[in-house]
Structure 1
Amino acid sequence: MTEQQTSESTRLWGGRFTGGPAEALARLSVSVQFDWRLAPYDLAASRAHARVLARAGLLDADELGAMLAAIDDLEAACASGHFRPTIDDEDVHTALERGLIERLGTLGGKLRAGRSRNDQVATDLRLYLRDHARGVATRLVELCEALVAQAAAHVDTPAPGMTHLQHAQPVSFGHQLLAHVQAFARDLDRLTDWDRRAAICPLGSGALAGSSLPLDPVAVARELGFTAPAANSMDAVADRDFAAEFLFAAALTGVHLSRLGEEIVLWTSQEFGWVELDDAFATGSSIMPQKKNADIAELARGKSGRLIGGLVNVLTMLKGLPLTYDRDMQEVQEPVFDAVETLELVLPAMTGMIATMTVHADVLAAAAPKGYTLATEIADWLVRRHVPFREAHEITGALVALCAPTGRGLDELTDEELTATSEHLTTEVRAVLDVRGALEARTTPGSTGPRAVAEQLTALSDRLETFREWGAAHVVPR
């Protein structure tokens, strides 16, 4: 059989056409160069579909046995690289049907009964994402654990907390690191919650109307690890909400990675000097020998735009589509694959960078009181003496104005200057002009005090263990 005859015999459409597609159409239409990633999932769905066809009496026992053996053999050949798509294969489904026909002859064509590429690709993409979302979650848990380990070592390390990138109040550096973990934990929550909605099986919906064959979508869904079959066959093949929602979760994770990356860039600068990166997770300059650059942090920051762009791409494409399947939906796949691969690339690098970085606790502690970060402590001290906060704020602001021209600290004010500023100020106020005391005074849940930070560490560790178990639980069905 010639190459052209092979291509025509395995094409999944064309009976009513008198000629093949034009080269320009074929080049535009082909997707196998990126959807080949779906091959393991398409084969898993094919096993389930073959068993359902057998239960419906459309394959006898011998045919089913031969079909399953051929699928196993084809899967092994795909994994080893011995079977690959060709330039004539339009998509992953065409390529795999060709592989089955090469192994089974006409029997291989029986598997197409009762299903369409429309419900196949919707099923395959859900399987791919449910599988890879767990891999992304595992990598994200590892990053969180690296941040938690650094935070645990710096619960008692004071640092200048900032608003508007200006020194504001002293905080525990561990508390600041855990703020990033809280954001990533929400990302993990989103992925697990997303999976509940993604666990609906489209297979059995056919092109859009279901099938007149006595198939069993419930059994297929169960075998493939879904919770239920789709409730509406038209929605099943038209729905890409699961992809758009995953892309949103990926984009927001990218934003959180970008924010952490930005802080690392700042912290490693000469102006901050809070952190030094391990040589294995930094780069140098081709012209300036002294440079040590936080490239991982910068790349994470940059790739957030890529993730956001994928989401916008898919939402824009979906917004004007009529029901049910439209070829525009092929454009969903590349942003989805790119988002998964981007996160799988960035997360381990960020984890290694965080796990190996050196925190300069002495620099942080020295910077903690700078910029009059203890001013709020004076205002709170006055409030505890029943001074209205509005007045306490004005009094404290006057003290800062007194210090600022000469660059003195609040603890350098004389007793006379204190009492001259307000009758409410006594020398006892000096007791709160201490960074460690300011941290220890914050005991409410979620605050930056050492006890509250330790409680936060415990709670986060428990949550991360739950997410780790979820990430490890799923395997590709056979």
Structure 2
Amino acid sequence: MSTNQLDKKSQAWSALFSEPMSELVKRYTASVFFDKRLWAADIQGSLAHADMLQAQGLISADDLASIQKGMAQIRAEIEAGSFEWKLDLEDVHLNIEARLTQLVGDAGKRLHTGRSRNDQVATDVRLWLRGEIDEIGVLLTELQKALVDVAEQNTDVILPGFTHLQVAQPVAFGHHLLAYVEMFARDAERMIDLRKRVNRLPLGSAALAGTSYPLDRERVARTLGMVDEAGQPAVCQNSLDGVSDRDFAIEFTAAASLLMVHISRLSEELILWMSQSFGFIDLADRFCTGSSIMPQKKNPDVPELARGKTGRVVGHLMGLITLMKGQPLAYNKDNQEDKEPLFDTVDTLKDTLRIFAEMAAGITVKPEA
């Protein structure tokens, strides 16, 4: 089957239309060039779905083996950078499915039995975000450890404590830093808690109203590790909600916004403490810049930029809330707009945590000041 034939096959609705989609509309509605980062989750979800279809007698063992072999090749191609992502195929799901059908024929078409792109994308985003939350938890721990190390080295250094930015009472510098360790501990707790609601399976909801195929959603949930604290399968109970819910993305972005607010508060203090007016600390040169005409200056660029990026993440939260506020049930194309703010929030948060853990470890305290 040619690529053009595959492209036409991927648009099952095209027979209802009298003219092709314009190139402008293709570019406007396509998501492949940002949602392709979901490829690993898409393959993971598809393999779990295929395993279940075979167990339920909906596809043959040969079909399952072909799908598994084809997906292994697709994974290798993507990891090698040789996979061709096509705008005409609109999104990550159709690109992978079309390539699978090229590789294994009709078995690739049967993979889509009992599912829709609506429940498929909802599953992919949840699987992807679950992994990102786990990574963020590790990065938070690294930042806390760095702060604790500096605090332990400065338990006897006395710092003026402030209220209203007025000198109030003396405190240990270490005690002051441990306040941020507490904030980040709450952030970690929030991530752990919201992960439970992310880790629920919408697959099986199909387009919006389920399917007549005898699917085993619990089997898929177990295969994907979507289980509750008791080890029981965690599946979305209502199909309409399953395909259209983006609460988990909003909740994550809310928790990320609060985490960034804590980063921003720490940034503000580092900026103040490093200024000539205070002179309490110094940051390593690699986190700062100078001035071409004012050589006495050492600018704390990283804390300043983190303070600015906090507004970016909070803006993504507002965008996601606004995205959902007017949507009727069930799935709407609006939801394609959930990914870029979610992806950017994750990227910004992870980069900030990494750099802050390294920067915090290199804080030089000036006890005499």
Q: Same fold (TM over 0.5)?
A: yes
2:338 matches 1:332: yes
Partner residue of 1:283?
Answer: 289
Per mean C-alpha deviation after superposition, the further-off stretch among 161-170 and 72-81 is 72-81
Shift of 1:13: 4.0
Aligned ranges for residues 347-358 of structure 1 at < 5 Å?
347-358=353-364
Partner residue of 2:349?
Answer: 343
Residues 146-191 of structure 1, C-alpha deviations (whole Å, 9 max, x = no match): 1110111112211100011110011111111011111111110000
2:121 matches 1:89: no
How far apart, in 1, do the equivalents of 2:64 and 2:159 lie?
Answer: 67
Aligned ranges for residues 261-410 of structure 1 at < 5 Å?
261-363=267-369
Shift of 1:289: 2.5
2:85 matches 1:79: no
How far apart, in 2, do the equivalents of 1:181 and 1:15 lie?
Answer: 59
RMSD: 1.3
2:62 matches 1:56: no
Q: Structure 1: where are the runs of 5+ without partners?
A: 364-478
Residues 384-442 of structure 1, C-alpha deviations (whole Å, 9 max, x = no match): xxxxxxxxxxxxxxxxxxxxxxxxxxxxxxxxxxxxxxxxxxxxxxxxxxxxxxxxxxx
Letter in 2 for 1:50: A
How far apart, in 1, do the equivalents of 2:79 and 2:279 lie?
Answer: 48
How far apart, in 1, do the equivalents of 2:3 and 2:218 lie?
Answer: 39
State the identity as a percent: 48
How far apart, in 1, do the equivalents of 2:74 and 2:62 lie?
Answer: 18
Contact kept in structure 1, 2:139 and 2:353, CA below 8 Å: yes
SS in 1 for 2:205: coil
SS in 1 for 2:63: helix
Query: Of the candidates 248, 252, 256, which is equivalent to residue 258 of structure 2?
Result: 252
Contact kept in structure 2, 1:157 and 1:172, CA below 8 Å: yes
Partner residue of 1:192?
Answer: 192
How far apart, in 2, do the equivalents of 1:105 and 1:3 lie?
Answer: 13
How far apart, in 2, do the equivalents of 1:347 and 1:12 lie?
Answer: 44
Q: Structure 2: where are the runs of 5+ without partners?
A: 228-233
Contact kept in structure 2, 1:281 and 1:352, CA below 8 Å: no
Letter in 2 for 1:71: M
Contact kept in structure 2, 1:11 and 1:94, CA below 8 Å: no
Partner residue of 2:224?
Answer: 224
Letter in 2 for 1:206: A
Shift of 1:286: 3.0
Contact kept in structure 2, 1:244 and 1:311, CA below 8 Å: yes
Shift of 1:57: 1.3
Contact kept in structure 1, 2:43 and 2:71, CA below 8 Å: yes
Shift of 1:3: 5.2
- Give the 3 Å change call, closer, same or farther, for CA 52–270 of structure 1 in structure 2: same
Partner residue of 2:248?
Answer: 242
Letter in 1 for 2:323: M
Partner residue of 2:134?
Answer: 134
Per mean C-alpha deviation after superposition, the further-off stretch among 122-131 and 275-284 is 275-284
How far apart, in 2, do the equivalents of 1:324 and 1:272 lie?
Answer: 56
How far apart, in 1, do the equivalents of 2:290 and 2:98 lie?
Answer: 50
Shift of 1:14: 2.6
SS in 2 for 1:361: coil
How far apart, in 2, do the equivalents of 1:283 and 1:84 lie?
Answer: 41
How far apart, in 2, do the equivalents of 1:255 and 1:38 lie?
Answer: 28
Partner residue of 1:423?
Answer: none
Letter in 2 for 1:288: M
SS in 1 for 2:168: strand
Contact kept in structure 2, 1:140 and 1:347, CA below 8 Å: yes
SS in 2 for 1:229: coil
Letter in 1 for 2:117: R
Per mean C-alpha deviation after superposition, the further-off stretch among 124-133 and 99-108 is 99-108
SS in 2 for 1:234: helix
SS in 2 for 1:112: coil
How far apart, in 2, do the equivalents of 1:174 and 1:11 lie?
Answer: 61
Shift of 1:12: 5.4
Letter in 1 for 2:175: H
How far apart, in 2, do the equivalents of 1:293 and 1:354 lie?
Answer: 16
How far apart, in 2, do the equivalents of 1:83 and 1:11 lie?
Answer: 21
Partner residue of 1:68?
Answer: 68
SS in 2 for 1:171: strand
How far apart, in 1, do the equivalents of 2:48 and 2:79 lie?
Answer: 20
Structure with higher Rg: it is 1
How far apart, in 2, do the equivalents of 1:194 and 1:112 lie?
Answer: 30
How far apart, in 2, do the equivalents of 1:84 and 1:360 lie?
Answer: 55
Contact kept in structure 2, 1:114 and 1:204, CA below 8 Å: yes
Partner residue of 2:230?
Answer: none
- Give the 3 Å change call, closer, same or farther, for CA 357–187 of structure 1 in structure 2: same
SS in 2 for 1:168: strand
SS in 1 for 2:14: coil
Residues 56-90 of structure 1, C-alpha deviations (whole Å, 9 max, x = no match): 21211111111111111111111111113122220
Paired residues in the alignment total 363
Q: TM-score, normalised by structure 2?
A: 0.95
Shift of 1:292: 1.3
